[in-house]
Structure 1
Amino acid sequence: MPQDSAFIAVGEPARHVSGALEKKVPRGEFVEMSQGSFTQVLSMAQQGLDPASNVDCARFALTAWRATRRRQNILLGEEFPGIQFLAWEALLGRRKRRIVLLVHNVASKKRLLALAKVGLGRRVDHFLCLSEHSRRVLVEEYGIARERITVIYSRVDTAYFQPQPAQPVLHRVCAAGAVNRDYGTLIAAATGLDAEVKIAADTAWRYSVAGKEEKGAQALPPNVEMRSWGNYLNLRQLYAESRVVVVPLARPIISGITVVLEGMAMGKPVILTRNPYVEGFIEDGVTGLLVDPGNPAQLRERIQWVLAHPAEAEAMGQRAREKAVRDFSVERYVERILSPFAGDAPPPHT
């Protein structure tokens, strides 16, 4: 990473950073990159600001712009507050400098309006996104040249999330997450299924996807439990005890990747709803299984196959673990994030 650089992001609270360094919670890219990659790091979370608040984002972006106005290299870790930072840069900036922006949700009309229609994207030298389909959208809808975009995929702490050989595996199906989940389809598929179905309806990212989310509010069948699992230790145990991890998605946007990769890192087969933004993370029939959206009969058939073929499912989970370690570790993710500053890193295997 060149000198004279700043990393501006939502970040993580100081307690989570210390917990990750002590290996009590999973480590993410913010922890990795805040340990010396940059001359300066600014985080909304560590200032106690709410990324769901437009006022907080704008206030933080102005503070960050003032604090980094002499820095030559800027990495904006999220589109918000990154877009507000670009607006201040357009209003107040007086000299050319290199700005790299990570855009998570390219399907958002709000992002398209700010970056393409208003033109704030012209202030960005290089864009980062999370999938090949996201890159296509940036090229075709945002009008960004392909060579200005790097696909960085996503990451998982493969040391924290790893197989637990001492943990007995139960006749159990699990799911996790709350953003953009189609738990109605999963519950319909699970009704009458000869297996426990546990849904950990927790998320740290509710602010990142607008719109009403599926809460699975219908009455639950007796074999289904849906609640918060409380913390990462409990979630890791839930993965370890389960035969398969299901990630049912409601809309075709970038979501569910964190749970997909956690399940893969735990050595579990993952059943994922087909979605052009996320399909590249699962190779159907090799590291997991894909199902059509809103199809409980097909989802039920895939779950039953996994439960009825434990040896094949275990081999699938082993291949998933190998891919997670090889392509989606935090270290590989950070390499790809920093590649626009220091030369291109090789992409994951396909």
Structure 2
Amino acid sequence: MRILYSRPLTAPPRTYLSSETRQIEDEASLSMMFARRFPFLGRRSDLCAGLWLALRLWRSRRSFDAVVTGRYGEVFAVLQNVLPFGRRPHLLLDVEWLAGHTDPWRARLNRWLHRRIIQSATKTQVFCRVEAQNYARHFGVEESRFAWIPYCTDAAPVLTERPAGDYLFTSGSHQRDYITLFEAVRDLPIELRVAAPPATFAGMNIPANVHIAGNLPASEYWRMLAEARFIVLSLRPDVMRRPGVITYVGALRMGKCVVVNDPGGASSYIDHEETGFLVDPASSGQLREQICALLQHPEIVERVAANAARMARERFTAARYFHDVERILETSLGKASRVAGP
């Protein structure tokens, strides 16, 4: 199978696709190049990068059986929808769609455009199963247009065999619910360290046992995560694209026990009480109860952390990721050949 590939932002650097795969672009590099060369474009630089990539893919597509891209391939999907001749199966990965438009006309245009993208792509990746339901409902398309391909990482920035520290750890500023988390840990006999920009907490009543570490270099971030007693993530429940996936999958891969208050999204990665803990969203009482139970039973933390490491090594690897990609492409090509006939 000949694959034309544009590496998504979240895809592993090593590619396990067919030997006939040609990588035409790295979308992280493409994004940085446009932002650096054309700073006057501002937010429009991503759209221009997508247009540039779409033209390159369009010119090259006929020599390949299928096209795989990240979110910068959305313009290519629209192009194939408008000009369907010479169309190739297109697997669209790493999308990040938010229902953020308050203006009704912009919201209608956004839904219309995304329906075009979804209907053009053979499949669109979701990181959590519930996202397929969310997108299908919001954009008015079939849920079968989406495929769950778990986020993966083979990165091992620090050794996982580290002593459990005397603090809890959390991180991130995107779609976090720190008000719930701070109430859950207030006055507990353990420190919570938070790796996030200080501006995230403007106007919040930060407990005395919470330390805001700010933005950290990658090596320091992973060291602090690895040495924590366990990880706690408090996430917003009212969003289409589930937050925190990269953080908790990275923690699972490093053999850490994780508590997440997003059962809708995190249940795609965590088996409750076996490889982590899931609590209801926006409930500081339930989150506090779970944290206290784990502080009182370190043997449970150790057991669940070991289970998490073992499970993540099997399920959330680059090899498994690209196996899922090829399986979807092979199924799509098989269906296309049956429709076309002999």
TM-score interval (norm. to shorter): 0.7 to 0.9
Write the distance in 2 (CA, Å) between the matches of 1:188 and 1:146: 37
Are the aligned partners of 2:16 and 2:318 in contact in 1 as well (CA < 8 Å)? Answer: no
Is the counterpart of residue 284 in structure 1 residue 272 in structure 2? yes
In structure 2, the partner of 1:104 is: 95
Residue 208 of structure 2: which of 222, 226, 241 is its match?
222
1:114 and 2:100 are equivalent in the alignment? no
2:150 paired residue number = 153
Question: What residue is the counterpart of 2:168 in the other structure?
Answer: 173
Does 1:85 pair with 2:76? yes
Cα distance between partner residues in 2 of 1:180 and 1:113: 25
Match in the other structure for 1:7: 5
RMSD over aligned CA atoms reads 3.1
Distance, in Å, in 2 between the alignment partners of 1:61 and 1:93 is 18
Post-superposition shift, 1:30?
4.1
Tell whether the 8 Å contact from 1:264 to 1:320 is kept in structure 2 after alignment: yes
- Identical columns (%): 20
Alignment partners' CA distance in 2, 1:104 and 1:251: 19
Paired residues in the alignment total 311
Q: Report the equivalent of 1:58.
A: 47
Deviation at 1:332, TM superposition (A): 1.2
| Structure 1: gaps (5+ residues) | 13-27, 203-212, 345-350
Q: Deviations over 1:189-231 (max 9, x none)?
A: 22211001101116xxxxxxxxxx9923324333211133522
Distance (whole Å) between structure 1 residues aligned to residue 268 and residue 158 of structure 2 = 21
Structure 2 match to 1:337: 325
Give 1:188's match in structure 2, choosing from 177, 183, 189.
Answer: 183
8 Å contact 1:9–1:82 — kept in the other structure?
no
Alpha-carbon offset, residue 159 of structure 1: 3.7
* CA distance in 1 between partners of 2:208 and 2:145 (Å): 51
CA–CA distance in structure 1, aligned partners of residues 184 and 83 of structure 2: 55
The structure-2 alpha-carbon separation of the partners of 1:147 and 1:161, relative to structure 1 and needing over 3 Å to count, comes to farther
Match of 2:67 in 1: 74
8 Å CA contact 1:264–1:324 kept in 2: the answer is: yes
C-alpha deviations, 1:258-315, integer Å up to 9, x for none?
1111221222211101342332212111111112222222212211111110111100
Structure 1 residues 250-329: aligned runs within 5 Å: 250-252=236-238, 253-329=241-317
For 1:56 and 1:184, how far apart are their aligned partners in 2? 34
Q: TM-score, normalised by structure 2?
A: 0.79
Q: What residue is the counterpart of 1:248 in the other structure?
A: 234
Q: 2-side partners of 1:334 and 1:240: how far apart?
A: 27
Relative to its length, the structure with more helix (as a share) is 2
For the residue of structure 2 that corresponds to 1:225, the secondary structure is strand
